[in-house]
Amino acid sequence: MDKPTYRDASRSVEERVADLLERMTLEEKIGQMCQVNGSLEGSEEWVRERSIGSFLHVIGEPAARLQRIAEDTRLGIPIIFGIDAIHGHALCPGATVFPTQLAMSSSWSGDLLEKAGRVSAREMAVTGMHWTFSPVLCIARDLRWGRIDETFGEDPYLAGTLASGMIHGYQGGNLSDPESVAACAKHFAAYSETEGGRDATESGASERRMREFFLPAFEEAARTGVATFMVAYQAIDGTPCSANPWLLRDILKGEWGFEGFAVTDWNNVGFMVSAQFTAADIDEASKIAVEAGNDMIMSTPGFYEAAIRLLREGSLDETLIDEAVRRVLTLKFHLGLFDHKRHPELERAPGVLACDVHRKAALDAAYQSMVLLKNDRDILPFKAVRRIAVVGQNADDPSAQLGDWVGENERAQPRENIVTILDGIRARAGDTCEVVHARGCDVIDESEGFIHEAVDAAVEADVAVAVVGDVRAQTGEGHDRANLDLSGCQMRLLEAIHELGVPMVVVLVNSKPLTIPWIAENADAILEAWNPGMEGGTAVAGILFGDRNPCGKLTISFPRHVGQQPVYYDQRPGWHGGKYVDMTAEPLFAFGYGLSYTDYEYSNLRIENATLGDREPLSVFVDVENTGKRPGTEIVQLYIRDLVSSVTTPLKRLRAYERVSLDPGQKRTVRLEVPYDGLSLIDRQCRRVVEAGAFEVMVGASSRAEDLLKARFEVAP
């Protein structure tokens, strides 16, 4: 007997999907729409009796065993295994842990994100994983929100370009490649537009605001070819995202022509009943979700029985089920799960996870992620230092250094795999420099009992390195903050060191910008390390000692006070007075800001064509010279302002950037191009249009006015 068409790898994906769909029972179709936690009891039953489509967060041999069971079912439909590999395959024991997404965004390098995605995909593949719930395309707005560390920062354009690199890394040139995995753009959409910085609360974003700020990065991901989208938890103007056909059917699958599938976030369907109260029961919520355009339902086990009831009673259209299942099966075929990628090569995992090549990639990512915020009297890099005092809990706290979405015990991420900042400084200092360490205080605990030990360690030091910030308990999903000041007794520790008169370098290990005006005024140098991953200590030490020249730039603004928010750079005009009574409107550290161990000079800004015709791109040239004594990499930034428009527009919007490496004394002419649509706005009818009139282009080292050269151009009617 000839084998079925769907089992014939020589046939097209479309033919195979159509053949398989025709053979499936109602129950098998609904099963393919379900995703549950594979570590829970009853997983085998889900495979054998319900033909489940996907499991999440089950790794290695347990995943391989469930896949073998699936192969022996009536149709043998493979399972797609998903996991939150947000900055490396970090929920897997012993895997490579990269800096957090916010940290890596400070590199402004799509190439770096692509390399991180490629490493993550390789490590996922050898442990039986096919699908990462990454990249995160939420735009950071309110810094109190717990998930700021998962974002690419505050700018939609930059988020889109960096996400594109990461997607290419995950998915490679072809999804069927043995080392490729499916990416997932999340959380769709406006999840970060919270009320009060509270996770998953109502978003009041209008359609105009959605199209201007929260959809562009997702649209770029769709153009890049991302395989899946994850639908956000929250409601937008009263409608839960998983109940929103405008979002899923009209925009995602209609306007953008997205051909992959959309998965809900964790229990979105049940959430409509238990938390949002927009559905009376699971049956009503399931009907709403399917009709809205969700294709796979994450972690709502009750959906399976509910959908079957709805179909049998005729209150749910089976063609909608077929559409969803077709999308799920199509991805499985494209991934090669019916063929050569059905069973993972688990025996290869020990030689792949955190191998030397992957650790080197994590180290390079850490170096490029760090931002030098202050360097008075050129205290950095260290010169003729004989004794260094390293203080603060985060100097030797692997959990804080790795950040969120990482296995939480030593078995998951062995201590010997992690280079803490204390480890890195000790290794780099060698025998010629004494390194003394005192914890001083905890990040959360209010006790001052051990500050005197840090003072004793620092009193005779040439320099004190104080490592402060936040810890895992203060960040992540469901961990929003009302106060962005340093917690515990960290400020008292810093004040005690400062009182000694010893030069003080502050290294920030933190998941988000904190309110640190005292540090900005009193520290001699500040290095923003974020959560720098498993090789973070080596990178911090390398920068402190001058082995590498820091080149990172902020992708998110630092406020002076929590009440000063919002301080993101793309503000709109119209504020009466333009400042608070008790505080400036300017951020402590601005978007795009970052220092170097060398200096750069910008000059000779010119525009190729001062009047642009229809569809003509803007071409801009600027000279950038390294006027210092060290080679370095500068991130040249271009901003646009529409001077008079039919709706209010930001005072500046990032529209192009370029990383430029220069030797001392070297000058280069940098060309930056903005496509015609990069000059557009969303008008009152929610259309994307380019309006005729005067524009201003600004090019320089950051978003600060004092760092920008300016010129004007016109868009012809």
pLDDT attached to residue 209: 96
- Report if residue 362 sits inside a domain: no
pLDDT tier at 39, thresholds 50, 70, 90: confident
Q: Which domain covers residue 655, as residue numbers?
A: 600-715
> Is there a domain that residue 6 lies in?
no
| Domain boundary, last residue among 557, 577, 610 | 557
Q: What are phi and psi of 611, to 5 degrees?
A: -130, 115
Answer yes or no: is pLDDT of 393 > 80: yes
pLDDT in the model for residue 410: 59
Q: Give yes or no for residue 311 having a pLDDT over 90.
A: yes
Listed residues 522, 557, 592: the one ending a domain: 557
CB 100 within 8 A of CB 149: yes
Q: Is the pLDDT of residue 202 over 90?
A: yes
Please give the structure tokens belonging to residue 61. 């041999």
Tell me how far apart the alpha carbons of residues 189 and 218 are, in angstroms, rounded to a whole number. Answer: 8
Q: Is residue 278 domain-shared with residue 420, that is, in the same domain?
A: no
In a domain, 573, yes or no: no
In a domain, 123, yes or no: yes
What is the torsion angle, in degrees rounded to the nearest 10, for the CA atoms of residue 496, residue 500, residue 505 and residue 506?
A: 10
The span from the CA of 301 to the CA of 306, in Å, is 9
Residue 148 shares a structural domain with residue 281: yes
Residues 59 and 151 in one domain: yes
Residue 407 pLDDT: 86
Residue 41 φ then ψ, to 5°: -65, 140
The domain that holds 147 is classified in CATH as 3.20.20.300
Q: Which among 504, 531, 557 is the end of a domain?
A: 557
In CATH, what number is assigned to the domain containing residue 514?
3.40.50.1700
Q: Note if 265 is an active site residue.
A: yes
Same domain, 529 and 663: no
Neighbouring CB atoms inside 10 A of 415's CB total 9
Is the pLDDT at 65 greater than 80? The verdict is: yes
Residues 265 and 343 in one domain: yes
3 state DSSP class of 37: strand
Q: pLDDT tens digit string along 119-150? A: 999 999 999 999 999 999 999 999 999 999 99
Query: Residue 546: how many CB atoms within 10 A of its CB?
Result: 14
- Helix or strand run (H / E) with residue 603: strand 600-607
Strand partners, 624: 602, 668
Residue 299 shares a structural domain with residue 448 = no
Asked whether the predicted pLDDT for residue 638 surpasses 80, the reply is yes
Residue 148, token pair as written in the block: 């700021």
Residues 197 and 93 in one domain: yes
Three-state secondary structure call for residue 437:
strand
Category of 660 on φ-ψ map: left (φ > 0), alpha (ψ -120 to 50) or beta: beta
343 with 411, same domain: the answer is no
Based on its alpha-carbon atoms, the radius of gyration of the chain, rounded to whole angstroms, reads: 26
Q: Does the pLDDT at position 360 exceed 90? A: yes
Q: Does residue 3 form part of some domain?
A: no
479 Cβ contact partners less than 8 Å away, ≥ 6 residues apart: 146, 199, 473
Please state the domain count of the chain: 3
Asked, for residue 331, whether it belongs to a domain, the answer is yes
525 and 657 assigned to the same domain: no
Residue 12 included in any domain: no
Asked if omega into 189 is within 30° of 0 (cis), the reply is: yes
In whole numbers, what is the pLDDT of the chain averaged over residues? 97
Model-level pTM?
0.97
Structure-token match 């959809």, residue found: 215
Can you tell me the mean pLDDT for 226-252? 98
pLDDT for residue 425: 98
Q: What is the 3-state secondary structure (H, E, C) of 178-227?
A: CCCCECEEEEECCCCCCCCCCCCCCECCCHHHHHHHHCHHHHHHHHHCCC
What pLDDT is recorded for position 409?
64
186 lies in the same domain as 261? yes
What's the token pair of residue 676? 């015609």
Q: Is the pLDDT of residue 698 over 80?
A: yes
Give me the sign of the Cα torsion angle 272, 278, 282, 288: negative
- Helix (H) or strand (E) run with residue 366 in it: helix 356-369
pLDDT value, residue 448: 85
Query: Residue 618: which CATH number?
Result: 2.60.40.10
Tens digits of per-residue pLDDT, 531-577? Answer: 999 999 999 999 999 999 999 999 999 999 999 999 999 999 999 99
The secondary structure of 111-165, three-state, reads HHHHHHHHHHHHHHHCCCCCEECCCECCCCCCCCCCCHHHCCCCCHHHHHHHHHH
Residue 41 has pLDDT above 90, yes or no: no
Query: What phi and psi values does residue 684 have, to the nearest 5 degrees?
Result: -65, -20
Cα 386 to chain centroid distance, Å, stands at 39
pLDDT band at 411 (very low <50, low <70, confident <90, very high): low
Alpha carbon separation from 438 to 392, 410, 458, 583 (Å, rounded): 7, 23, 9, 36
The pLDDT assigned to 276 comes to 97
Q: Per the residue annotation, which of 142, 149, 199, 265 is the catalytic one?
A: 265
State whether the Cα torsion 162-676-218-276 is positive or negative. positive
Q: Are residues 298 and 419 located together in one domain of the fold?
A: no
Sign of CA dihedral 423, 429, 432, 437: negative
Same-domain check for residues 304 and 383: no
- Residue partners of 529: CB distance under 8 A and separation at least 6: 103, 366, 369, 370, 421, 507, 508, 509, 536, 539, 540
Would you call 13 exposed, middle or buried from its count of C-beta atoms within 10 A (0-12, 13-18, 19+)? middle
CA distances from 671 to 283, 611, 612, 654, 658 (A): 57, 18, 17, 15, 9
Domain membership of residue 120 (yes or no) is yes
Report residue 469's pLDDT band, with 50, 70 and 90 as the boundaries: very high
Q: What value does the mean pLDDT take over residues 662-688? A: 98
pLDDT over threshold 70, residue 67: yes
Tokens of 150: 């998962």
